[in-house]
Amino acid sequence: MDDPNGGQIALFIVLGLVLLFVIIALVRAVKIVPQAVSIIVERLGRYSRTLDAGLHLLIPFVDRVRAGVDLREQVVSFPPQPVITSDNLVVSIDTVIYFQVTEPKSAVYEIANYIQGIEQLTVTTLRNVVGSMDLEQTLTSRDQINGQLRGVLDEATGRWGVRVNRVELKSIDPPDSIKGSMEQQMRAERDRRAAILTAEGFKQSQILTAEGEKQAAILRAEGGAQAAILTAEGEARAILQVFDAVHRGDADPKLLAYQYLQTLPKIAASPSNKMWFLPSELTSALGAFAKGFGGPVSDDDGGVQDSGRAAGTSPLGDDLPPTTLTDPGEALAEARRESAAATADATSSGTLSGLPFDPSVEQGQRPGGAAVPPRSPEPPPQDAPTG
C-alpha cells in the first residue's frame, strides 16, 4: 500500500509551486511606470507599445519590457578633443551637449547608443567647423561655432528621437607656446593703449594750460591798458587843476622865482652827482624875487600890470577852492638858508662849477651872479598852490 504521508507531501509541494507561479505572474503582470520615464514593451519579441507614467498590466510570459527611457533633459560633457585650425595649430576643445529624448521608440530601435552617437557626431562636426577658421577666429567665434554645431546635431539626431537643445564650448586651449605669444601680444596692445591715453591726456592738459595762459595774458593786458588810461586821465586832471590853480593864484614873477629856487636843490639831491653847474639866469631870478618886495611889477611903459584873473575864466570852472601863497619874506629867508647850506656842501666837496672856492664871495653866490644850489637830502616843503 502507498504511504498516505508521502502523498500529502507531494500535494503540498505542488500547491507551493502553483502559488509561487501565481505570485510571479502577478508581479510580472503589474507594472508601475514613474514620471518622466517611458517603457518600451515587446510582445513575443516584437514592439507592442510604449508605457507612460502610471499603473499598467502586462501578460505574464508574453509581454516583456525592452528598455526604459528617461525623458528629462540630459547634460553630457565630452572629453577634450584635439582640433586643427586653418593655420595648422592644434587646439583642445571641450564641449557640453544639452539634449532630450522626444521619441523613446526611435531612441531604442533607431540607434544602439544615442549618447555615443551624439559624441562622435559632435567631434566630427567640430573638426569640420573649426578647420575652416584660424586661431583668432576660433577664440572669438564661440557663438558661431555653437550655432553650427547645434544645427548639424539637431538635424542628425532628429531621426533618433533626440532633440539637441544647446551646444556649448566649455574651453578652447591652444598650445603653451601660443599662449605665451598671445600674452605678449595682449601686453603690447595694452601698453600701446596706455601710451595713447597718456599722450591724449598730456595733449589735453597742454591745450587747457595754453588756453588758461592766453586768457590770463589777455586779462592782464586789458587791466594794464585800463590802468594806463586811468593813470593818464588822472595825471591830465592833476596838470589841468595845477595849471588852473597857478592862474588863480596870480603867477607873477615872484612866485615863478620862488618855484625856480625850490627846483634847484633837487638837481644836486642825487648822491651820484660829483659836479653840477649853476644856470646864469639865477641872479636875475633872485633879483626879480627881491624886486617883488618893492610893490607891483611895472611894464615897459611904466604902468602897473594887473596880475589878477577875472572870475569864471578858469578852464575847470569856479568850483576849485581858493589858493593861498607863502609870504614873500619867509620864502626869501628860506631860499637864503638853502643857498648857504649848498655853499657849505660845495666847500666840503672842494670845487664848485670847476672853480676854486672863494670865501670872500657872498654865500649862496659865485662871481657873475650865479647861485649855489643846496645839496640837501630833504628838499624844503613847497607851498605850491593847491587845486
Short-list 96, 109, 124, 110, CA closest to 157: 110
The phi and psi torsions of 383 (rounded to 5 degrees) equal: -95, 65
What 3-state class would DSSP assign to 132?
A: coil
Yes or no: say if 126 and 85 are a contact pair by the CB < 8 Å rule: no
What pTM does this model have?
0.46
Yes or no: say if 148 and 129 are a contact pair by the CB < 8 Å rule: yes
What 3-state class would DSSP assign to 307?
A: coil
Task: Report helix, strand and coil shares of the chain as percent, to nearest 5.
Answer: 50, 20, 30
What's the grid cell of residue 270?
Answer: 642825487
For residue 71, what pLDDT is reported? 92
The phi and psi torsions of 41 (rounded to 5 degrees) equal: -110, 130
- Cα torsion for 180, 186, 190, 196, to the nearest 10°? 120
Yes or no: say if 128 and 81 are a contact pair by the CB < 8 Å rule: no
User: Residue for cell digits 639866469?
Assistant: 281
**How is 320-348 classified by DSSP, letter by letter?**
SPP-----HHHHHHHHHHHHHHHHHHHHH
First CA to last CA across the chain, in angstroms?
Answer: 178
The secondary structure element, H or E, covering residue 67 is: strand 63-70
Q: Is 233 exposed, middle or buried (0-12, 13-18, 19+ CB in 10 A)?
A: exposed
**Cα–Cα distance measured from residue 321 to residue 316, given in angstroms and rounded to the nearest whole number:** 12
Query: Can you say how many angstroms the Cα of residue 93 is from the centroid of all Cα atoms in its chain?
Result: 44
Yes or no: say if 79 and 120 are a contact pair by the CB < 8 Å rule: no
For the stretch 114-170, pLDDT in tens is 899 999 998 998 888 888 888 888 888 888 888 888 888 888 888 899 999 998 888
Count, in order, helices (H) and strands (E) of the chain.
9, 13
∠ Cα 335 336 340 (to 5°): 120
Yes or no: say if 67 and 42 are a contact pair by the CB < 8 Å rule: no
Yes or no: say if 89 and 172 are a contact pair by the CB < 8 Å rule: no
For residue 204, what pLDDT is reported? 93
| Partners of residue 76 on adjacent β-strands | 97
DSSP 8-class letter at 190: H
For residues 15-50, one letter each, b for 16 or more C-beta atoms within 10 angstroms of the residue's C-beta and e for the rest, the string is eeeeeeeeeeeeebeebebeeeebbbbeeeeeebeb
**Cα–Cα distance measured from residue 165 to residue 103, given in angstroms and rounded to the nearest whole number:** 15
For the stretch 361-385, pLDDT in tens is 444 444 444 444 444 444 444 444 4
**Cα–Cα distance measured from residue 80 to residue 95, given in angstroms and rounded to the nearest whole number:** 7
What 3-state class would DSSP assign to 281?
A: coil
What 3-state class would DSSP assign to 371?
A: strand
User: Which residues make up the CATH 3.30.479.30 domain(s) of the chain?
Assistant: 74-174
Q: How many residues does the chain have?
A: 387
For residue 40, what pLDDT is reported? 92
Parts of the chain with a pLDDT under 50: 1, 295-317, 320, 323, 325, 350-387
CATH architecture assigned to 74-174 = 2-Layer Sandwich (3.30)
For residue 367, what pLDDT is reported? 42
